[in-house]
Amino acid sequence: MQIRELEIPDSYEITPKQFGDDRGVFLEWYRFDRLAEAVGHPLSLAQGNTSVSKRGVVRGIHFADVPPSQAKYVTATHGAVLDFVIDIRVGSPTFGKWDSVLLDDVDRRAIYIAEGLGHCFVALTDDATVSYLVTSTFNAEREHGIDPLDPDVGLVFPDAAGEPLLSPKDTAAPSLAEAAASGLLPTWEAARAYYDALNKGA
């Protein structure tokens, strides 16, 4: 597989090598050792999630308190989504910026999103099926959101997605500026300290 760091530090695009024949396709969609080489430590996986979304559904922007937050390894097993990583770490050199990766059942890419980063995707097809491996279990009290339509973040959804469809929770989420002003966002310093502790533990 090929692993490429995205424009947002501590996030990576993973492109697997696919082996196809007249029976179908085989690939390794997750390799703990290869990812550990890139991020500096192996992932301690705690939970696996799957979502199925119709075209236009937007999930996110979601994040969790640091520490421990929740690193994510995400792929689309059916259909297609455009997956976004947003730097919400106050003090980061790329604070407020984002990058994206097309996840689909053709190239079968994955994206790794470190603790403290924001995550969002928009479904480009009906029945878009996304699977997540995460490093901590869900804790509602530590989970937060930012409005994915915040113009200051400026996520660009493809025309193929159609009209964005948001949950009431995501619709009511604060803007990035509001979240920062309320002290809700993780800091660059706290995230780096957490990454360093994980790397030393490796």
119 is catalytic: no
Taking all residues of the chain, what is their mean pLDDT, rounded to a whole number?
97
| Average pLDDT value for residue range 9-16 | 98
Say what the pTM is: 0.96
Cis peptide before 67 (omega within 30 of 0): yes
User: Does position 202 have pLDDT exceeding 80, yes or no?
Assistant: no
| Average pLDDT value for residue range 37-65 | 97
Q: What is the pLDDT of residue 66?
A: 96
| Average pLDDT value for residue range 142-157 | 97
Percent of the chain with pLDDT over 90: 99
Which residue of the set 62, 119, 144, 194 is catalytic? 62
Q: What is the pLDDT of residue 173?
A: 98
Q: What is the pLDDT of residue 201?
A: 85
Which value, in Å, is the radius of gyration of the alpha carbons in the chain?
Answer: 16
| Average pLDDT value for residue range 9-15 | 98
What spatial distance separates the first Cα and last Cα of the chain, rounded to whole Å?
22
At 82, is the pLDDT very low, low, confident or very high (cuts 50, 70, 90)?
A: very high
| Antiparallel, parallel or unpaired: β 72-78 and 110-113 | antiparallel
Q: What is the pLDDT of residue 75?
A: 98
Q: What is the pLDDT of residue 168?
A: 97
**CA dist., res. 65 & res. 63, Å (int):** 7
78 is catalytic: no
Which residue of the set 12, 73, 112, 132 is catalytic? 132
Q: What is the pLDDT of residues 83-131, one digit of tens each?
A: 999 999 999 999 999 999 999 999 999 999 999 999 999 999 999 999 9
In the β-sheet with 118-123, what is the strand arrangement from edge to edge? Answer: 98-104, 80-86, 118-123, 58-64, 143-145
